[in-house]
């Protein structure tokens, strides 16, 4: 599913594409099991020479950047550059203030202490329905957090919320640096301008922008 009938030429310094990666899709062009390749990037992007700048877990959704420029790929993906990544996270239960402060101050994981994160509880965002839907327990409440990280460990957000006793139910990466998925449906993509990304090509597949209103610290 492409967002252009006629892709525009690559910008000077390399081409950069922003994809809204759907749930269940691998962050690679091969290795899937689906005959139509809809469980890999090949099922959504038919543009040669592009490689993911960083990864997004199969069971996570949202921003995945791809480029044909190796230096740009490293600049986006390398944690040394501390590019902020914003996640909308649905967790099981309702974290108390001390649990949120633990996320903000750094969580001890098996690969070391995480860097301080920006964490706020938010109202449920206006997102597309997930396919398949999230499975809930009727007796357990849930809530949404906005978490901003400046590092990129394997499954970091999920491990952080699990460490404070609130497993992640749904994880959407909404923004990486200046690039956000405003207006992109799952599986749709658009060209963005590297490295700042202010110029965004028009997409044919739009969704409502989520509302991430703080609901107060608890």
Q: Are 84 and 177 in contact (CB under 8 A)?
A: yes
Q: Which residues contact 203 (CB under 8 A, 6 or more apart)?
A: 3, 183, 184, 188, 189, 190
Can 57 be counted among the known catalytic residues?
A: yes
- Which one of the listed residues 39, 57, 68, 142 is annotated catalytic? 57
Give me Rg for the CA atoms of the chain.
Answer: 17
Catalytic residues: 57
């Amino acid at each position: 599913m492409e967002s252009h009938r006629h892709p525009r030429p690559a910008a000077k310094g390399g081409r950069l594409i922003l994809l809204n990666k759907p749930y269940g899709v691998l962050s690679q062009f091969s290795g899937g099991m689906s005959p139509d390749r809809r469980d890999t990037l090949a099922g959504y992007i038919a543009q040669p020479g592009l490689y993911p700048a960083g990864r997004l877990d199969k069971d996570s959704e949202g921003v995945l950047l791809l480029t044909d420029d190796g230096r740009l790929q490293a600049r986006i993906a390398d944690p040394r550059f501390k590019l902020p990544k914003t996640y909308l996270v649905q967790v099981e239960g309702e974290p108390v203030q001390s649990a949120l402060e633990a996320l903000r101050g750094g969580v001890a994981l098996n690969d070391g202490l995480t860097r301080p994160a920006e964490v706020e509880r938010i109202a449920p965002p206006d997102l597309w329905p997930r396919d398949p839907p999230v499975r809930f327990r009727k007796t357990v409440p849930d809530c949404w957090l906005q978490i901003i990280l400046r590092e990129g460990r394997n499954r970091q957000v999920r491990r952080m919320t699990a460490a404070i006793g609130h497993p992640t139910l749904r994880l959407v990466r909404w923004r990486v640096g200046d690039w956000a998925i405003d207006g992109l449906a799952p599986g749709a993509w658009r060209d963005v301008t590297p490295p700042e990304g202010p110029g965004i090509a028009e997409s044919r597949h739009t969704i409502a922008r989520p509302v991430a209103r703080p609901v107060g610290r608890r």
